[in-house]
Amino acid sequence: MNFNKKKVVFVMGATATGKTKLSIDLAIHFSGEAINSDKIQVYKGLDIATNKVTESERQGVPHHLLGFVDPEADYPVEEFCEHALRAIDKIIENGHLPIIVGGSNTYIEALVEDSIINFRANYDCCFLWMDVDPLVLYKYVGIRVDKMVEAGLVDEVRDMFDPNADYNRGIRDGLSGLRSCMNI
């Protein structure tokens, strides 16, 4: 590890493996800030369906790139990389540790592997992969979904669907399969 390079931590893994909780714990312990890399959580709205971290769950840890994109707009990987790099540099300038968290490996791979960005040449990276036994994960996912339904998931998703909307762009592009599953 080069001690002159800027440090960046990545917390990755499947849905419901505890990425958010770990990233907040790391941020509290190491004076960090979280950068969201989930393709759907970048959009405004659908807070229940996307299981966006709430203000109280953040425990005072600043979060970047979370719920800021218009749901009708596309958010290509190039824009994510540009915004993530700006957030990383701002966090480091403030003397904090950037912690990139989320399950959208497409965004993370583009950021880290892009030959123009040359990320690894400029940053020391620590990749943490969250892995949970499938039986434990399935049980937890079931409990989480039940809580989401109780919190208003069906109404939230139903309100998002519009028969005249373009389901090939924005937040709806990522939810097209959910529409048929929920028979909306």
Query: Domain 1-184 belongs to what topology?
Result: Rossmann fold (3.40.50)
Q: How far is CA 22 from CA 13, 15, 27, 30, in A?
A: 11, 13, 8, 12
Q: How far apart are CA 158 and CA 29, in angstroms?
A: 39
Select the more confidently predicted residue: 37 or 184. 37
Q: How far apart are CA 68 and CA 42, in angstroms?
A: 6
pTM above 0.85?
Answer: yes
Count of residues making up the chain: 184
Q: Detail the DSSP E strand segments found in 58-142.
A: 63-64, 97-101, 123-130
**Mean pLDDT rounded to a whole number for the chain:** 89
Instruction: Select from 14, 103, 28, 93 the least CA-distant residue to 62.
Output: 28
Residue 121 has pLDDT above 80, yes or no: yes
Which residue shows structure tokens 């989480």?
Answer: 144
**How far is the first Cα of the chain from the last one, in angstroms, to the nearest whole number?**
51
Predicted pLDDT at 62: 98
